[in-house]
Amino acid sequence: MPSVLITGAGRGIGRAIAQRLVSEGWTVFAGVRDEGSAPPGTSPVILDVTDPQHLADLPGALPESLDALVNNAGIVVSGPVEGLSPQDLRSQFDVNVLGLVAVTAAVLPLLRAATGRIVHIGSLSGRISTPMTGAYNASKYAVEALADAQRIELRPWGISVSVVEPGPVDTDIWRDAPSTLARAAKSLARSTQDLYSPHIGGMRRTIRFVQRSTVSSETIAEKVATVLAARRPRARYPVGRGARLQLVATSVTPTWLLDRVLAAGTGIPARIP
């Protein structure tokens, strides 16, 4: 049976991917923060992608040859860029970028042994940047850039690198988005809260709209299974018709017009007196 390590496998997209691959006969090593959260049928691996000791122990918890790695672990830091602290940015990049790089480096010898595959769970936010999620956008843009470099660097060993790019997904991240935004707003200095109150109000309305148009975690899992079964995996896999349409629309829309559309869509006024 082929083997795969999935990070962030305890819930949401990672859990759905693990369950899908188990059903297809994969030996799934579920990277989880606590053993009890591992999906049924998987082999749990205690893995916080920001913990140096967990990363050092990781190869020893896996077989000598690994057929695939799915880098799924991720978090969202929201708020206006002006209000982000250095720690906010570190937290965002530690998990979404540095953790992804560290896990990949830790298991690359095992992937080489199997001529394996790497799948990064990116986001439409790595192709289209939106207001109030600048830190998250930046981290997902970084994933796209790293994947492009890795795809060429690892080609001599036959290791493919693909990015799966979902739009909004029906997971805890979007279900909890209103409270996440509220916490982000509360953490801002009072003067910054006052400056960005129209943006915060617009973002609340945007979240309610987006929550009605999410795709399921199972849809993402199906796409990952497709990537892992592909004879020649593509570099990028947008998920859902809506995501593909957005990419096409933004590619032909002038930047000045796209800025106006995104501002209007998130309730940001043209001018603040």
Catalytic sites, residue numbers: 136
What are the contacts of 84-90 at 24+ separation with CB within 8 A?
A: 84/134, 84/135, 88/135, 89/135
Strands 160-166 and 117-121, bridge-based pairing: parallel
d(Cα 12, Cα 170) in Å, to the nearest integer?
8
Return the closest-CA partner of residue 140 out of 71, 52, 221: 71
Q: Are 237 and 227 in contact (CB under 8 A)?
A: yes
Q: Are 149 and 195 in contact (CB under 8 A)?
A: no
| 185 token code pair | 């707003």
The neighbour count for residue 92, using CB atoms within 10 Å, is 24
Distance separating the N- and C-terminal Cα atoms of the chain: 64
Which of left, alpha, beta for 134 (phi over 0: left; psi -120 to 50: alpha)? alpha
